[in-house]
Copies of this chain bind each other. A is one copy, B any other.
Amino acid sequence: MVTAREVAKLAGVSQATVSRVLHDHASVSEDARRKVRRVMAETGYQPNGAARAMRTNRTGTVGLIVDDMTNPFYPELVRVLGAELGAAGLRMILWDSAGPGERAALDAIDQRLVDGLLFTTATAASVPLARAIDRGAPVVLVNRTVPDLACDQVDSDNHAGAAAAARYFAAAGRREVALVDGPRDASTARDRGAGFRAGCAGNGLELPESRIAGGGLSHDGGRAAMARILAGGPAPSAVFCANDFSAFGALDALADAGLRVPEDVWVIGYDDIPMAAWGAFGLTTVRQPLADMAATAVSLLRERVAEPGRAVRHQRFRNDLVVRRTTNGQEVLR
């Protein structure tokens, strides 16, 4: 198959001129344009990308489905996944699962415009996810997982990380605990809620329903949930939140109520997004090893593309508590 370089040589022009002709650029003389077009027609030249995709049945492009880019966790995940894909010479098409994004991802799979899909926001109810798998498209779930789904999955041990938060509160004598819970359809939030409950039970901490509020995974959700808990009875002495973003909201609600952190109330979030370390927050949190998770997800997807029939794998990473000011910087237990 003839290349742009060969077209340029045969037409007696530069490669940049060939590229300009391809893009219908005005700054090409009519003479050069005619020569290039004639050589292209005679040699059957096709631009590399589409031609290579047809020849190899590979596009070199991967689809990434994300959610709620206002939560800095997702941009961070996009950044590390993008770096891994770029290092592997792969391009990344980004779809937002809100709106028409998942449907567009499915169309791209049907049209063979991407080699596979990375879902970061999978739920068991996701129709496009189920259909992508039904079509045999290479799919890897990263961050959120769906039990028993026949595809490669990468997550971290959210249950153990949340249980460690409860153990930490118990060891510090902060016994009046509260939970700003996340949505049950997201495996991350579900596992964290269950892990915190299990950690409380295992360490003799009572967690009455009046000190649990569903707050979603947003700042505003966390703020509203914390306000409901405070309205429902005496203030807790320690709060665990489903993610850092909702913890920032909980901190705002505590400040609204005139409560001091960490003197009156300790707060722990989840994810260790960069701003958790800012002076304004100093948020104690549980860290997921995002870079390792991204590298594993990309390599699982590449292996799946190369060998569609191989057995499905699920890889889980451990999480670590990062202690900061919102728990008084006290490393009572690691």
Tally of this chain's copies: 2
CB nearest to A105 among chain B residues = B91
Number of chain A interface residues as a range: 35 or more
B280 touches A281 (CB 8 A): yes
B48 touches A50 (CB 8 A): no
Roughly how many angstroms separate A91 CA and B104 CA in the complex, as a whole number? 8
Tell me if A309 counts as interface (CB < 8 A to partner B): yes
A101 touches B86 (CB 8 A): yes
A112 touches B48 (CB 8 A): yes
Proximity string of chain A (69-104) to chain B, C-beta cutoff 8 Å, 1 when within and 0 when not: 110101110110011001100011111100111001
- Chain B residues whose CB sits within 8 angstroms of the CB of A51 once the complex forms: 50, 54
B280 touches A255 (CB 8 A): yes
7 further contact pairs, Cβ within 8 A, besides A61-B113, A252-B278? A19-B135, A19-B136, A26-B136, A49-B59, A49-B108, A223-B279, A256-B279
Q: Point out residues on A near B: beta carbons under 8 Å.
A: 4, 16, 19-20, 22-28, 46-54, 57, 59, 61, 69-70, 72, 74-76, 78-79, 82-83, 86-87, 91-96, 99-101, 104, 108-113, 134-138, 219, 223, 248-249, 251-252, 255-256, 274-275, 278-281, 308-309
